[in-house]
Amino acid sequence: MGGRAASGELSSEKGWQVKATVIAGWSLVFAGWLIGVCRDRAPVKEAIANPWRCRLFGLTAATILLAVALDKGRPRTRPPRRLSLALLPVFLGGVALYYWARLSLGRQWSSEARIARHHVLVTTGAYSLVRHPIYLSKVLMALSSGWMLGNRLVLGLGFALAAAGLYQARVEEQMLRAHFPRCYAEYARRTGMLLPKPCWPLPRRPRLRRCPLSSA
């Protein structure tokens, strides 16, 4: 009876396929993070005093990957099949958003909050949608993972990840506003922190280009 599921529930075979997809997606994100850490050699102008405050976000995400891989926090009943399949594009979209944001940042990416000597305020690509697309991508991945797998631990960690991402975003924005006061104020007026702002019926504003540190 292991391969059969009650009506409307996710079968064992489909469940393993969804779980494998979730593990692969999180592994891709962490692989991108590790590669970025190894290549991050930019000279720093200002860094956060206690970087561990910003590493809470990464630690929470790592715990989610372990919980999924070790199958911790799952209820006895399987999640609804339609819900799991409907949220799969949301999860994959989160993975795609993460790499789009990384490509948009280029060498500006860092594993912790800091201002490089030749820092540039990036407002194009994924950063034209929201100010913190990397945090949004991981929150989408975490919450969809919890719902798809019926994993209450992962779902709870997803909400914790959202809170950690909001905190880290505020820490980073304090630094960016200090170094890019004029450019960042305009950027924040037209772009949401973690959710896109509606474009209609507001008048269209010209998009900011990359704002160098010297113009702050």
Q: Which domains does the chain have, with CATH numbers?
A: 12-215 (1.20.120.1630)
Model pLDDT, residue 39:
65
Report which of 20, 149, 133, 26 is spatially closest to residue 78, judged by C-alpha positions. Answer: 149
Q: pLDDT category, 215, cuts 50, 70, 90?
A: very low
HSE toward the beta carbon, residue 26, CA cutoff 13 A: 26
Q: pLDDT category, 206, cuts 50, 70, 90?
A: very low
Model pLDDT, residue 49:
53
Measured distance between the N- and C-terminal CA atoms of the chain, rounded to whole angstroms: 65
Say if residue 1's pLDDT is above 50. no
Question: Which of the pair, 26 or 55, is modelled with greater confidence?
Answer: 26
Share of the chain above pLDDT 70, in %: 69
Model pLDDT, residue 75:
66
Q: pLDDT category, 2, cuts 50, 70, 90?
A: very low
